[in-house]
Structure 1
Amino acid sequence: MSNLSNTGHPPWCLRGPDCAGPNDLHLSRLVGTAVRGDEVIQVRIGLWRMDVGKTPPSGLLLELSAGSDVERWPVDLAQSRALAHLSQRLVRQLDPGSLRAA
């Protein structure tokens, strides 16, 4: 949408049709997380921000899909930070190399 100003848009915003609404929802490009590409559930992650109020809510956008079924879940910033920290801690418990350090 070339008629949209760059001011007010975060640098990661795609400036697509999602930015045209009254609440200006900004979305980044979604990055795939599949390592092999043959996973049953595909996970992609990106950023979101909605321009409402004095402190616009923002965070991570999780997209989960299985075949043609797609679900998008906006996770707020505080929960996104906790999720990043907790997921690293939990994944270390699955990593066989981390057993030596325990």
Structure 2
Amino acid sequence: MNNLPNPLHPSWCLRGPNCAGAGDLHQSRLIPAAARGDELFQVRVGLWRMDVGPTPPSGLLLELSAGAESDCWPIDLAQSRALVHLSGRLVRRLAPTPARHVAA
């Protein structure tokens, strides 16, 4: 797909069959999140952008899978930013904070 008509084709897109015309859906490679192999659910994250309108919607693409079943969920940019912030706050509540050394 090197001859794509879209001059604004993002460099991170895999250039698959969904991004070769009007209303293109661009998707990046999905990156596994902490894949150890023993999780019940697998989580992968990537980027997406749809070429529609003057400001194309974009954000994170989450893929959740259990066994052979998987679902992809596009999350818009505002929700993606909020998710990063909120998930960091929530995870800090779960994980113990390392002890800080106080200079005497």
TM-score after normalising by structure 1: 0.89
CA distance in 2, matches of 1:33, 1:21: 31
Aligned to 2:62: 62
Segments of 4+ moved more than 6 angstroms? none
CA 1:59/1:17 → structure 2, altered by over 3 Å: closer, same or farther? same
Return the structure number with greater helix share: 1
Contact 2:5–2:20 (Cα < 8 Å) also in 1: no
Equivalent AA in structure 2 for residue 92 of structure 1: R
Aligned to 2:43: 43
Greater C-alpha radius of gyration: 2
Aligned to 2:73: 73
- Give the length in aligned residue pairs: 100
Aligned to 1:16: 16
Which ranges of structure 1 fall in alignment gaps of 5 or more residues? none
Percent identity for Structure 1 against Structure 2: 69
RMSD, matched Cα? 1.7
Contact 2:59–2:77 (Cα < 8 Å) also in 1: yes
Aligned to 1:53: 53
Equivalent AA in structure 1 for residue 78 of structure 2: A
Aligned to 1:84: 84
CA distance in 1, matches of 2:64, 2:7: 31
Q: How far 1:3 sits from its partner (Å)?
A: 2.5
Query: Which secondary structure does the structure 2 equivalent of 1:97 belong to?
Result: coil
